[in-house]
Every structure is written in structure tokens, then in C-alpha cells.
């Protein structure tokens, strides 16, 4: 039996009804905890009126907005399962995901109405979008698992057709205002699925990581412990909501604690700088920290109120840690996975500068091992695969029993696929993905070490290293490098020499390709499998 959650909005409405729960960064609109509970209860009634039942999936395709969380809490009140969709993906990429999770309803925002229309599912518009064209009944509508959709064989109401022209009041806000709040059970079973996170991944086909109520409870506990989160704290929500970090770092813990979340549709450094003096906790991925550091307002920005700074998704380069430290900011690196809820490790502020590169220690409800290829614990300081076990881990992947079996050992340890080591003080370091490691001249090479070094070159903004075949050494490193804006000219030979002077020969990359930008996952990780060396010039 899992650790249950109480109905978060109902409990907060009882405890702190007049405290601001959400603020819209663009309009200044605010909602108290009493208001958000009322709206989520009305949304639950609205979903139920559309035929959504316990266990049904509700897909949502929208940018960061308060209504996303209203639908998320509405699903919890109904026992339905939310499926956030990647708005960056075209309909062709989203269609297989919908086929996999078979949602009963697709909720969408105006910015993504065209994509939603192309997906051809029963839909609910968050905004009154300007649809045009002929009226057509959606080709399909999913029901509960193994069930025939409740509206099968019947023409859906015109407002449910994504291809129908909108009628007055046939959108979320109007329908919400006319709905009677649905009151449901006040406890949410910890073992039940709350939402599905389809991982974009750095390789391969996306799969849905099951996220339970217990995972949210454990994550909130870990974040509160590590960040000292408390009632009244303010944070900023801008990381994509189709990724676990957008929901859980640190929005959900802040709402459970009774704080205020300011929601931005996406990251905007100008608005972020303006909001910094009002924030207590700030969490971002390295790409955001880089973007802020490059901004001309960085040196004069007021960061004095922010008590806690966190970073995840990928290691924060040492040079960026030092850049923020010069402003009195200690950015604490963390490590986790969608499968871990996600918070697993967070560095303590006192270690942020003395142990640069460390992701800290495992959080309270997590056990960790570093093992070799045979599953045996390695000695302190040696590298191996990170294995994790605890109450905050996913039970597995949606509709993928074989993938679930491969990810976990028989006694419940999650095989992370990441290489790490532990120092004498119990702090951990992540060297990167096992599949990213390559062997050059019989020696293991971990790209993260070389990438971190290249980031120290004054002309380099970011680098990614991949192993490529080599007749003599088996594999050698190929560096893909993004230069800083207005950086002085630098050649591939100069960067190779920069590495050779600071690294063992087998670690020094043999090839360099300059790129304008990198393909990335929602968490800001570089998709290395999409990096390809330039084709050789044709012989003459």
C-alpha cells in the first residue's frame, strides 16, 4: 500500500484559503487556494460530463499556464490519468503516443489548436480558438483501458469536434463557470497513477513513465528537506509541463507547502530578471543558467532574496558555478530521473563550491549503490552504474512490461544507465550515460570530463563529445562545439591543443565540429544520437 496524498487543493483551501496559489506572469491574474480548489472541482465536473471516468486518460497539449494545473487536480479528483503532451512535437510524433495511452479527451490551448485538430481526437479547448473549415466528426475517441468509448456510435456534441467552428461559450472558461463543483474523496491512493510522462529521451522511442501520487509525496518531502521550502515561499514555473521537472521542480512541493507559484508560458529572461527580487526558490536547467549569465543585465541583477538555487537535467559546467558564485549565489547541482520522481540527489549549499561537480548525497527516502557490470558494489572512488531503490521510484512504464523488467532488478533496484562515483565524504559525481562512454586504446573515456573542460575555454559556450570509430585506437572523441556569441575566432586545432595540455592523450578529442546550436530534450540535455560528423567532401 502506497503513501496516500490528501486532496491537495481541498486541504490547502481549508488551511490557507486566502493565500495566493498561482499568479500569471503575463497578466498579473492571481488565484487563491480557495479559488483554485473551486475551479479544479468544476473542471472535474466538466471532465465527467465529457464521459471521463476513473482510470481514463486525459491528454493535454498546452504551454505553461494555470489551467494545466486545474486539469491536473481535476484528474486527481476523478481518479483519471493526465497525459501531458510535448507541444514542440508535430502531430505525426504525437499520434503514436495517443495510440499508446488512448485518451478519452484531448485538452488544448489556442497556440496548439492546429496540432490538436490534426490529431483528430475529442477535444476541449482552453481558449475559444478561431477554427475555420468544414464540420467533421472526429475519427476516433479513446475510452477506458479495454473499454468501448461511452460515446461510440453517437455523434459527439459540436463543441467536442476539433474541426467544428466554435459556438459562443463552448470553451473551457465558459463551461467551467456553468459547472457545479464535483466533490469527491479527499484522499488519493498512493499507488494509483496520477500522470504519465513520455520521456523524449536522448535515444530511442519515447515511453511513458508512470507517476503515482506517492512519487509526488516523496518528491515534495525531498525538495522541502533539501531546499528548506516553507509556507509563503514564491517560485517561478517555466520548465515545460510535459516534463516531470515542470510539474515537480519545484511547483508541486511549493503548492503542498502553501507557497505561491508564478507561471510563465516559457522562459523569458527579461521577465525572469524582473521577478527575481520577489522569489525565494529558483530551479532551472543548465541552458537557462547559461542564458541568464549571457544577458547584459546579469551583473547588476538583484538575486539577494532568493534563498535556494537548484539545477538539474544535466550537470552545470564548473565555469557557470563559478560565474554565479562571483555574485554570491551557490547553485546546488542535483540529479534525478523521470523514473525517480525526479528528485534523487541535491548538493548541500556548503558543498556547492568546495565540491564543484558533485550532485550531493542521496535524499532521505532513497538508497543508492554504485555497481560494476556484474552488479557488485565498487570501491569508494571507483566508477560504476548508479542503482537506486526507494519509495519515490516509478512502478514502471505504461504498457511496457518488458521495458519495466529490464529497468529493475529482481529485488527492486532501478538500473539508472548512468555512470557515477562516490567520494570519501559520501558525495556523488555523475560521469554521464553508460552508452555515452567509449573505449579508446583500451581506456574508458567519460565525455562529461572533456565537455566540462572545453566549457572553460573562453570561446566555448558548450560542447558535446561522442565516440567515433578509429582504425588505430578503436574509438576516439569527436567534439561538437557551440561558440560563445561574439567570441574571438578559434580553430579546431586550437581546441584540440587546449585539451591535450590538460588531459591524458586518450581523452583528447581527435575531431572538432562547430555547431550553431544543439538538439535538446525538454530537460535541456543534448541529444547526442542526433549529432553526426559532417560528410566527407567528395573526391575529385
> Sign (positive/negative) of CA torsion 254, 256, 260, 264?
positive
Give, as one character, the DSSP assignment of residue 165. P
**Cell numbers for 210:** 508512470
Domain-embedded: residue 407: no
Residue 527 has pLDDT above 70, yes or no: yes
Mean pLDDT across 47-54: 96
Residue 411 has pLDDT above 80, yes or no: yes
Domain-embedded: residue 75: yes
Task: Return the minimum-mean-pLDDT range out of 246-250, 397-401, 432-436.
Answer: 432-436
CA separation for the pair 7, 187 (Å, rounded)? 6
Cβ count near 486 (within 10 Å): 6
Mean pLDDT across 15-21: 98
Q: Which residues contact 271 (CB under 8 A, 6 or more apart)?
A: 25, 264
pLDDT by residue (tens digit) across 192-227? Answer: 999 999 986 544 567 999 999 999 999 999 999 999
Residue 167's pLDDT is 46
Which of 194, 222, 248 finishes a domain? 194
Domain limits at 162? 27-194
pLDDT by residue (tens digit) across 147-176? Answer: 333 333 333 333 334 444 434 457 899 999
Cα–Cα distance list, 458 to 63, 136, 266, 507 (Å): 35, 58, 29, 20
N-terminal to C-terminal alpha carbon distance within the chain: 70
CA separation for the pair 286, 219 (Å, rounded)? 21
Choose among 315, 112, 337, 317: nearest CA to 243: 337
Mean pLDDT across 177-198: 93
Answer for the pair 197, 82: CB distance below 8 angstroms, yes or no. no
Residue 502 has pLDDT above 60, yes or no: yes
Choose among 256, 255, 260: nearest CA to 234: 260
CA separation for the pair 239, 224 (Å, rounded)? 19
Task: Return the minimum-mean-pLDDT range out of 130-144, 200-214, 445-459.
Answer: 130-144
Domain-embedded: residue 91: yes
Domain-embedded: residue 269: no
Choose among 105, 124, 106: nearest CA to 175: 124
Confidence band of 272 (pLDDT split at 50, 70, 90) = very high
Domain-embedded: residue 465: yes
Q: What is the pTM of this model?
A: 0.84
What's the CA angle centered on 513, arms 508 and 514, to 5 degrees? 120
Domain-embedded: residue 514: yes
HEC assignment per residue over 213-233 = HHHHHHHHHHHHHHHCCCCCC
Strands (E), 41-154: 57-61, 81-84, 105-108, 123-125
Mean pLDDT across 330-358: 95
Domain-embedded: residue 213: no
More confident residue, 155 or 246: 246
Q: What percent of the chain has pLDDT over 70?
A: 90
Mean pLDDT across 500-514: 94
Beta strands 384-390 and 414-422 are: antiparallel
Backbone angles phi, psi at 101, to 5 degrees: -100, -10
| Count of domains forming the chain | 2
CATH code assigned at 144: 3.40.50.12780
Which of 194, 209, 224 finishes a domain? 194
pLDDT by residue (tens digit) across 273-303? Answer: 999 999 999 999 988 999 999 999 999 999 9
CATH code assigned at 463: 3.30.300.30
Domain-embedded: residue 221: no
**Cell numbers for 490:** 578559434
Answer for the pair 39, 11: CB distance below 8 angstroms, yes or no. no
More confident residue, 524 or 222: 222
Which of 159, 194, 229 finishes a domain? 194
Choose among 330, 349, 368, 361: nearest CA to 423: 361
Residue 365's pLDDT is 97
Burial class from Cβ neighbours inside 10 Å (0-12, 13-18, 19+) for residue 230 reads middle
Amino acid at each position: 500500500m502506497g503513501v496516500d496524498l490528501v486532496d491537495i487543493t481541498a486541504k490547502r483551501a481549508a488551511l490557507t484559503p486566502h493565500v495566493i496559489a498561482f499568479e500569471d506572469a503575463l497578466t498579473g491574474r492571481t488565484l487563491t487556494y480557495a479559488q483554485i480548489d473551486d475551479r479544479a472541482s468544476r473542471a472535474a465536473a466538466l471532465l465527467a460530463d465529457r464521459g471521463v471516468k476513473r482510470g481514463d486518460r486525459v491528454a493535454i497539449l498546452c504551454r505553461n499556464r494555470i489551467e494545466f494545473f486545474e486539469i491536473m487536480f481535476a484528474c486527481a479528483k476523478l481518479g483519471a490519468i493526465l497525459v501531458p503532451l510535448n507541444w514542440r512535437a508535430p502531430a505525426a510524433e504525437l499520434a503514436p503516443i495517443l495510440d499508446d495511452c488512448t485518451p478519452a479527451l484531448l485538452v488544448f490551448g489556442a497556440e496548439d489548436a492546429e496540432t490538436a485538430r490534426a490529431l483528430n481526437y475529442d477535444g476541449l479547448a482552453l481558449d475559444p480558438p478561431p477554427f475555420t473549415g468544414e464540420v467533421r466528426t472526429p475519427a476516433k475517441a479513446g475510452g477506458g483501458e479495454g473499454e468501448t468509448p461511452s460515446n461510440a456510435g453517437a455523434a459527439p456534441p459540436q463543441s467536442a469536434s476539433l474541426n467544428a467552428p466554435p459556438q459562443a461559450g463552448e470553451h473551457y472558461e465558459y463551461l467551467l463557470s456553468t459547472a457545479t463543483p464535483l466533490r469527491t474523496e479527499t484522499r488519493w491512493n498512493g499507488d494509483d497513477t496520477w500522470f504519465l510522462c513520455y520521456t523524449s529521451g536522448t535515444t530511442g522511442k519515447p515511453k511513458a513513465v508512470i507517476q503515482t501520487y506517492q512519487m509526488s509525496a516523496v518528491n515534495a518531502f525531498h525538495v522541502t528537506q533539501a531546499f528548506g521550502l516553507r509556507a509563503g515561499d514564491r517560485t517561478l514555473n517555466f520548465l515545460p509541463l510535459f516534463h516531470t521537472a515542470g510539474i515537480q521542480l519545484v511547483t508541486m512541493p511549493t503548492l503542498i507547502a502553501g507557497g505561491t507559484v508564478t507561471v510563465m508560458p516559457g522562459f523569458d529572461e527579461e521577465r525572469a530578471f524582473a521577478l527575481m527580487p520577489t522569489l525565494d526558490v529558483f530551479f532551472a536547467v543548465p541552458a537557462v543558467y547559461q542564458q541568464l549569465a549571457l544577458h547584459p543585465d546579469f551583473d547588476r541583477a538583484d538575486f539577494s532574496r532568493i534563498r535556494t538555487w537548484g539545477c538539474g537535467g544535466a550537470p552545470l559546467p564548473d565555469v557557470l558555478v563559478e560565474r554565479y558564485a562571483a555574485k554570491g549565489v551557490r547553485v546546488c547541482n542535483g540529479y534525478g530521473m523521470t523514473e525517480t520522481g525526479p528528485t534523487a540527489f541535491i548538493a548541500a549549499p556548503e558543498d556547492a563550491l568546495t565540491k564543484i561537480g558533485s550532485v550531493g548525497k542521496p535524499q532521505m527516502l532513497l538508497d543508492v549503490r554504485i555497481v560494476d557490470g556484474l552488479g557488485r558494489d565498487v570501491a569508494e572512488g571507483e566508477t560504476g552504474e548508479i542503482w537506486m531503490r526507494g519509495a519515490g521510484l516509478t512502478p514502471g512504464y505504461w504498457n511496457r512490461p518488458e521495458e519495466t523488467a529490464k529497468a529493475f532488478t529482481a529485488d527492486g533496484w532501478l538500473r539508472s544507465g548512468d555512470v557515477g562515483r562516490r567520494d570519501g565524504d559520501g558525495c556523488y559525481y555523475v560521469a554521464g550515460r553508460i552508452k555515452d562512454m567509449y573505449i579508446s586504446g583500451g581506456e574508458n573515456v567519460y565525455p562529461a570530463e572533456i565537455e566540462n573542460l572545453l566549457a572553460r575555454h573562453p570561446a566555448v559556450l558548450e560542447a558535446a563529445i561522442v565516440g567515433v570509430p578509429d582504425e588505430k585506437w578503436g574509438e576516439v572523441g569527436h567534439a561538437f562545439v557551440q561558440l560563445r556569441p561574439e567570441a574571438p575566432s578559434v580553430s579546431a586545432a586550437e581546441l584540440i591543443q587546449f585539451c591535450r595540455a590538460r588531459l591524458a592523450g586518450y581523452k583528447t578529442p581527435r575531431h572538432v565540429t562547430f555547431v550553431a546550436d544543439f538538439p535538446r530534450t525538454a530537460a535541456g540535455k543534448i541529444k547526442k544520437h542526433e549529432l553526426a560528423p559532417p560528410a566527407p567532401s567528395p573526391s575529385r
